[in-house]
Amino acid sequence: MSEENLNVLHWTLNDTHPEIVENVRAKLREVIDPEIGMDIIQLGLVRDVSIEENGTARLKMILTTPFCPYGPAMVEMTRAKGQEGLNMPVTVEMGMDVWDFSMMEDPSAMDWGLYN
């Protein structure tokens, strides 16, 4: 599927530092939701990435479910991979958005016939 057919989130980073967006996305793709088996970019869990004036980055993310048993580990791995991709300290802010399939990069990837 071509990128123009994907639901790619536009982060603040796209406007301020477009030259590093792909590297950050690549690093964050290394974080896999162990229950679903898909990465956090595919799932649309990283809602925004921005660089603050103090030289740190802020990454806003959500989880597929608020009580995800892997949540704390995924948040920490997201922070670490974000730091690798951005080459600066990263704080992760948990958003309150409720995740649904439409947030996915490719919503048809979850079309397993389980949800009607």
Give the pLDDT confidence of 93-104 residue by residue, as tens digits. 999 899 998 899
CATH number of 3-106: 3.30.300.130
The pLDDT tens digits for 71-90 are 999 999 999 999 999 999 99
SS3 content of the chain, % helix, strand, coil (to 5): 35, 15, 45
Q: By the 8 A CB rule, do 103 and 43 touch?
A: yes
**pLDDT at residue 111 in the model:** 58
In the chain, where the domains are located? 3-106
- Outline where 1-116 has alpha helix (H): 12-16, 21-28, 71-86
Q: Work out the number of other CB atoms within 10 angstroms of the CB of residue 6.
A: 13
Q: What is d(CA 51, CA 34) in angstroms, rounded to the nearest whole number?
A: 28
